[in-house]
Amino acid sequence: MLQFILPVVLFMLGIAAIVTHVAARLPAKNRVKFCTVLYTLLLTPSWAPATIVAIPVPFGAILGMGLIIGAPLEVLDILLSSWWWHLPAFVLTSFISHKVATKFLGTSSVPSAHS
């Protein structure tokens, strides 16, 4: 199972790196919000059905597959079937995502000496 999960996580981190690069071109007030939302959607740990068991994967993989195969209602079913997992996972991931986005893209509250 690890041979499947690790490449998916690395792929989602790669997409997050691209998002960070693109977000650097946005207006300063939107950078952190944009990255927080996308990091949360891409990296929140979730459970995907696999035959008779569920395997842990980033939510971005489930969302991506749902969009590719045209099954958005199935993605919603996955969220609702284990809401007890997803509710705290999304909240915690969004908190961490906000901290990471602020660190990489946030503006400093300390005025620069060159102003």
Whether residue 101 lies inside any domain: the answer is yes
Whether residue 8 lies inside any domain: the answer is yes
95-109 pLDDT tens trace: 999 998 888 887 544
SS3 assignment, position 62? helix
CA 41 to chain centre: 3
Domains in the chain: how many in total? 1
Burial 46-72 (b: 16+ CB within 10 A, else e): bbbeeeeeeeebbbbbbbbebeeeeee
72-88 pLDDT tens trace: 888 899 889 889 999 99
Whether residue 51 lies inside any domain: the answer is yes
Whether residue 115 lies inside any domain: the answer is no
Whole-number Å distance between alpha carbons of 11 and 90 = 19
> 110 pLDDT exceeds 70?
no
19-41 pLDDT tens trace: 888 888 888 778 888 999 999 99
% of residues, the chain, pLDDT over 90: 24
Whether residue 113 lies inside any domain: the answer is no
Domain hosting 34: range is 2-105
Whole-number Å distance between alpha carbons of 36 and 20 = 10
Whether residue 12 lies inside any domain: the answer is yes
Q: What is the pTM of this model?
A: 0.79
